[in-house]
Amino acid sequence: MSLFEKIFGSKKKGEAPSPQEAIQRLREVQEMLTKKSDFLEKKVEHELATAKKAGTKNKRVALAALKRKKRYEKQLQQIDGTLSTIEFQTEALENANTNTEVLKVMRTAGQALKGAHQNLDVDQVHDIMDDLAEQHEIANEVSEAISAPVGFGHDYDEDELNEELEALEEEELVSQIVGIDEPTGLPSVPTSSLPAARTTTTATAEEDDEMAELNAWAAA
């Protein structure tokens, strides 16, 4: 029977322990061997102290103690080798167990993804995306149509309006010039006939009055 059969125990042919069971069993054996190693180390120290104490006084006792010490050290070496092997196997099983769990999760995720895509068709997806793009384009055209101003100058020619404005400005300028050359508000010219000649004194006084009136009219 091999060492691992002793460790894990015999099972039915073809039936292997699970990684968790193997890891648990390895850890139990590792703990047991560690305790045994500590015990042997104490035995080695004890036999070494016995050999030193006997020394040359009792050579037979000293040699027997050294022989036992050698046996214990050999057992310690074997245990150290076994512990190293168990540690290596434990790490390998832990990695294998981790990989197994990861693969299980990935398999489950793959099945879920497959189920999600079961009712999807690539051509249908492309058709849906094309429809969405077309609807977005229609929405943009509608927005532009709604935001465009209606009846605010789009039916008129800008050049024609500018020419009409220039004509109005010229007409206004001419009106201002004509208004300066022909002042308004002056008193009207008398239309009544002059009275008949009178005496020199009276005529002179009337002429003076008329001149004064004319001067006042001209000065106005």
Type of residue at 210: E
pLDDT at 209: 73
Give pLDDT tens digits for 15-47: 778 888 888 999 999 999 999 999 999 999 999
Q: Which of 29, 31, 43, 52 is nearest to 73 (CA)?
A: 43
Token pair recorded at residue 153: 């100058």
Give pLDDT tens digits for 116-164: 888 777 888 888 899 999 999 999 989 988 887 665 555 667 788 788 8
Angle between helices 19-54 and 59-117 (to 10 degrees): 160
Domains of the chain: residue spans and CATH: 20-111 (1.10.287.1060)
Q: Which of 33, 46, 44 is nearest to 72 (CA)?
A: 44
For CA atoms 6, 2, 90, 70, the dihedral sign is: positive
Give pLDDT tens digits for 57-100: 888 999 999 999 999 999 999 999 999 999 999 999 999 889 98
Task: Give CA–CA dist 169/126, Å, rounded.
Answer: 64
pLDDT at 204: 66
pLDDT at 57: 85
Are the C-beta atoms of 34 and 52 separated by less than 8 Å? no
Calculate mean pLDDT across residues 187-211.
Answer: 59
Type of residue at 59: K
HSE-up (13 A, CA, CB side) for residue 56: 0
Whole-model pTM: value is: 0.45
